[in-house]
Structure formats: structure tokens, C-alpha cells
Amino acid sequence: MRVKLTLAYDGTDFHGWQLQKNSNTIQGIMEQALEKICSMPIRIHGSGRTDSGTHALGQVAHFDPPSDRSDIPWQKALNSILPTSIRVIKARITDENFHARFSCISKTYSYTLWTEPDFLYPQRRHFVWQTGRVDLHLMEQAAKHLLGKQNFKSFMNKGTAVNSTCREIFSYSFDPGLYPQELVFRIKADGFLKQMVRNIMGALADIGRKKYPPDYMAWLIRLKNRKNASATAPAKGLCLEKVEYPGHID
């Protein structure tokens, strides 16, 4: 039996998704909760890592419970044990061929900017990056260069081995945020390289603040080199919103 979970978390106090010794990670906390319910160690597989401080509204993970625990109401059982900084939004039995990471066909992230330079509402301080004013029109012109299947090596930080640095960006949008001072950049792709969204955001913010013209984005993509690119945007503005799978195994 395989269970698919949809998870939301406030990443502020966690050292990211991935299990680490002596560190408070989301995967670690999830596995502790599952071990408590199942009375045995259970491995949980996420759709991918999220960085320390990065949030999720729709992370997806799967695990295989022991057969004597097959009728547990997983959402209720897990939410009663987990800290309130992690919530199970949905839990259901899924196809045995489903794999949270390998079956994934797209991911959507949001990145939220706070555009007011003089103050930042404390209620939002863990969820936005305060860039001050940005020129949306310039950022929109720059973002056009991102679409399609391309080599995004200039936007990959080191530390994870990958077969290819090509990814396909399906779509993006600039949307209003929760408060009028917010601007949300949403981006959907078949997958993302290490800190790719934060690196794209770093470049977009430099363009929005007129440090570089919109064509800087095209130049950066052609460069295929992280060196000399804009700095990585802070983790706290980033949120994994949605992970999608093909209908037949979902």
C-alpha cells in the first residue's frame, strides 16, 4: 500500500525538507510522526527538497505503511502528532507505481516580493523579500526569455549532482499578493535545478530595480555560468505551491 500526502509548512524554523542528523527538518519530523503511528521506522519520499526557510502549500510526499496500519485515517492521525508548523492538507491511497519524486511532471513555485521600501508588515516578515519598488514592466519583459526548454546552468547553485541542466519552463505570471505591497512571481516547470527559482528571482529583482536591462536575462541564460550572475534571492520569499503527476498513476 502507498499513501500520497499533500503537505503545507512554514519553513521558518526548519533546516529544509531533507533529513539531516541532529537537525530539525521536515522530512525528519514527518518520519518521526510516522514511526510513532506505525511502531516501526518508515521512509517518506518528497517530490524534492526545499531549502531552509522555504515554505510549502502543496509539497507532495509518499510512504508505504505496514499492512497492519492500512486503515489509519492518515490526515487526522498525522495532524494530531505533527507540530502546527507542518500540516497534512490531503492524504489518500495511491497507485503503487506512484513516486512523489520520479512521477512528478510539473512543479509550481511562488516567490513574493515586498515592494514598499520604508516598512514591512511584521506579520509577513518570514514570507516575503523586501526589495523596495520594482518596475513590473521591465521584469515582465525579462521573464519572457525564460519560457521553453533551455539550459539553465547560470541559475544552478552547486551541491547536487544532476544529469542535465536543461529544464522546460511551461509558464510564469506576476500576480497581486496578500497585501497591496506584495508582488508574486509564479513559475511552473518540469523541474527546477538547485535554488533555480531563487536565482531567477535574484536576476528579475536586479532588472526590476534597474541595475540591468531586461535583456540581461537572455544574456545570463546564454552565459551558462553561475559566476557573475545576480545574487540568490532569500529563501523566505519562496513557496512550493503545487506538484503535479500524470492522471493514470496519481
**Count H helices, E strands: the chain?**
5, 10
From residue 4 to residue 33, the character string flagging contacts with a second copy as x (rule: CB under 8 A) and all else as - is ----xxx-----------------------
Site for a second copy in 146-185 (CB under 8 A): 178-179
- Residue 172 CB contacts under 8 Å (≥ 6 apart), including other chains: 143, 146, 147, 185, 186, 187, 188
Identify the helix (H) or strand (E) that includes residue 28. Answer: helix 26-38
Interface with a second copy includes 72 (CB under 8 A)? no
Round to whole Å and give the CA distance between 136 and 248.
39
Among 41, 122, 159, 176, binds a second copy (CB under 8 A): 122
Site for a second copy in 88-107 (CB under 8 A): 88-89
- Compare residues 37 and 249 and give the one whose CB is closer to a second copy: 37
The stretch near a second copy (CB under 8 A) out of 98-106, 120-128, 161-169, 205-213 is 120-128
Among 18, 101, 121, 250, binds a second copy (CB under 8 A): 121
Round to whole Å and give the CA distance between 243 and 250.
11
Residue 242, amino acid: K
Round to whole Å and give the CA distance between 1 and 66.
8
Interface with a second copy includes 141 (CB under 8 A)? no
Report, in Å, the least distance between residue 118 CB and a second copy. Answer: 6
Active site residue 51: yes
The stretch near a second copy (CB under 8 A) out of 41-49, 113-121, 166-174, 227-235 is 113-121
Identify the helix (H) or strand (E) that includes residue 111. Answer: strand 106-114
Q: 115, 174, 110: which is closest to 141 by C-alpha? A: 174
- Compare residues 15 and 224 and give the one whose CB is closer to a second copy: 15
| Eight-state DSSP code of residue 195 | T
Q: From the candidates 13, 51, 190, 215, which is the catalytic residue?
A: 51
Interface with a second copy includes 114 (CB under 8 A)? no
- Residue 61 CB contacts under 8 Å (≥ 6 apart), including other chains: 4, 5, 7, 27, 30, 44, 45, 46, 47, 100
Among 22, 67, 71, 84, binds a second copy (CB under 8 A): 84
43 touches 25 (CB < 8 A): no
- Compare residues 9 and 245 and give the one whose CB is closer to a second copy: 9
106 touches 170 (CB < 8 A): yes
* Residue positions annotated with a catalytic role: 51
Q: Give the binding site for a second copy (CB under 8 A).
A: 8-10, 55, 57, 75, 79, 84-89, 118-123, 125, 127, 178-179
